Amino acid sequence: MTRAVTTPTVGHTHRAPTDHALALAAALRSKLRARQRLFGAWMSIGSAEIASIFAAARGDFLGIDLEHTTIDLATAQAIIRACHEFQRACLPRIFPEHVEQARRLLDAGADGIIVPQVASKEDVERINQVLRYPPQGRRGFGVAAAHWYGRAFDAYIQRANESLSLIVQVETIAGVERIEEIVSHPAVDGVMVGPYDMSGSLGLPGQLRHPRVVEACARVIATCAARSVSCGLHLVYPKLEDVQRELSSGCTFLVLGSDIFNLSQRSLEVDAMVDAVRQED
């Protein structure tokens, strides 16, 4: 019997069950480890439709914020699927202590994870244990979406340890003081600087351009460059000159805006237009 093959919709890429289930993850990790320039989008609203809009645009990965939002695991899985339909890697951000959440997101098909407030090599190793299968780690084996519910189980298990990315966020002065040991851990594929939390850890909340905050962030970026580790940050309202400045400063990847910031900025612009029209009355 000949099995009918469904023609993929425009903008989507059909993947047969025999394809490499970790192709997107492996490609992203390879680029991170080569310090290639990469660009990401950011999601804080639990919507697969918004994820599809981001994933169809230019860029390399999409981050899902599960640290500061109410996005649940089922919604995160739908977002991951939406990204993969458009061949975009997806990296959820989880809190370090949420080990169970990390395991389930990886089984849902995440291409790696982003972990905030990493401040030591020991922190990295704890995360690495969750990310990797034995003998490198202690991730459990189970039939899940990541390997198409068993269709690509063997290939996924064999390649996961070498394909999944780990981006750690260094956003406290404690992390800055131990940045050398953090980037020396072989599991670290990229470091994301967190200026807002950095300012808070220095007792200067919100003072992003304070010399001490700028110096701390610059030290992280310089150390990453010296150790050939990818480094980046999140630009909330990015303009071309901002992107060019941060790339020139040593960043190799940038997260540009987010669903919340994009919508918020547009709503402010609409407010300004409404106010201008009302002033004409």
How far apart are the two ends of the chain, measured CA to CA in Å?
Answer: 73
The residue segments making up the domain with residue 92 are 23-165+230-276
254: exposed, middle or buried (C-beta count within 10 Å: 0-12, 13-18, 19+)? buried
Number of domains observed in the structure of the chain:
1
To the query of whether residue 84 is one of the catalytic residues in this protein, the response is no
Please give the backbone phi and psi of residue 147, each rounded to the nearest 5 degrees, phi first.
-120, 35
pLDDT value of residue 4: 38
- Nearest C-alpha neighbor of 61 from the set 250, 243, 237, 234: 234
- Nearest C-alpha neighbor of 61 from the set 93, 89, 42, 31: 89
Q: Is residue 221 domain-resident?
A: no
Q: Is residue 179 domain-resident?
A: no
4: tokens are: 């009918």
SS3 246: helix
Q: Is residue 50 domain-resident?
A: yes
Q: Is residue 81 domain-resident?
A: yes
pTM of the model: 0.90
pLDDT value of residue 19: 54
Q: Is residue 216 domain-resident?
A: no
Q: Is residue 55 domain-resident?
A: yes
Consecutive H or E run containing 230: strand 230-235
CA 143 to chain centre: 24
Q: Is residue 180 domain-resident?
A: no
Q: Is residue 173 domain-resident?
A: no
pLDDT value of residue 5: 36
- Please list the rounded mean pLDDT of every run of 10 residues in the chain (281 residues): 38 48 95 98 97 96 96 96 96 88 96 96 95 95 94 95 97 96 97 94 94 96 97 94 96 96 94 92 74
SS3 111: coil
User: Which residue in the list 12, 14, 68, 234 is annotated as catalytic?
Assistant: 68
Identify the bridge partners of residue 166 per DSSP, sorted by sequence position: 113
CATH number at residue 39: 3.20.20.60
